[in-house]
Structure 1
Amino acid sequence: MAKKYDAAFKAQAVQLVTELKKPIAEVARDLGIPDTTLPQWLKNVRQHPDRPFVGSGKLRPADQEVHDLPRRIRDLEEENAILKKAMRLVANDRK
């Protein structure tokens, strides 16, 4: 199971690299985190400086919208199909 790190720990690790100019590999080794984890945290800070670490299993609002779109499309298509059937029934009753 992957180890979980809180936002403060991640921020401190990123700070060691960005402000103290320590090498990524050295910081990762000193903190006991995988070599591929710290670069991902740095990428998150660069891409989303206002809120780089949203938490495990959580999405940013824009990402959540994209995640929810297929379900919304499916629901709307189902509603549309129901309305089409209802329209046919109403049209047949008028004849």
Structure 2
Amino acid sequence: MGSKQQKYDTEFREGAVRIVIETGKPIPEVAEELGIHSGTLHSWVSRWRRNGSASSDRPTPAEASGRLREAERAELERLRREMGEKNKRIRELEMERDVFKRCMALWVK
């Protein structure tokens, strides 16, 4: 009888861990979305929190020293730029909401 243990590549494991870490979603929810066992994902996240890597393989020299690859750096800059734009939009919407609240308060009086 064959082994039922599924093998996942490093990229998939790291992507799954990033979803949990970056979105803050619960591990069981992410595991269900990805079609993997929540215990498996939990062990990957635990390993990442301990040594910063979701894979059981040794990190590359660039990863070990904490340096980002060029693609990762570009993605990080893009995400920071998007986050800044979204935060700006949120502040604008909050100001509009406050104006509408004041208008309603004046109108009710």
> Which residue of 2 is the match for residue 25 of structure 1?
28
**8 A contact 2:19–2:25 mirrored in 1:** yes
Give the superposition deviation at 1:8: 0.6
> Which residue of 2 is the match for residue 8 of structure 1?
11
Pick the aligned partner of 1:53 from 52, 55, 61.
Answer: 55
Q: Deviations over 1:42-63 (max 9, x none)?
A: 11111111x44135xxx8xxxx
After TM superposition, the score normalised by the length of structure 2 is 0.46
**One-letter amino acid of the structure 2 residue matched with residue 16 of structure 1:** I
- Give the aligned length: 56
Q: What is the CA–CA distance in structure 2 between the aligned matches of 1:20 and 1:45, rounded to whole Å?
A: 15
In our comparison, the structure showing a higher alpha carbon Rg is 1
Q: What is the CA–CA distance in structure 2 between the aligned matches of 1:43 and 1:54, rounded to whole Å?
A: 12
After TM superposition, the score normalised by the length of structure 1 is 0.52
Identity of matched residues, %: 38
> Which residue of 1 is the match for residue 37 of structure 2?
34
Q: What is the CA–CA distance in structure 2 between the aligned matches of 1:52 and 1:34, rounded to whole Å?
A: 15
Counterparts of 1:44-83 in structure 2, within 5 Å, are 44-49=47-52, 51-55=53-57
Unaligned runs of 5+ in 1: 60-95
Point out 4+ residue stretches in structure 1 off by more than 4 angstroms: none
Q: What is the CA–CA distance in structure 1 between the aligned matches of 2:29 and 2:9, rounded to whole Å?
A: 20
SS of residue matched to 2:23: coil
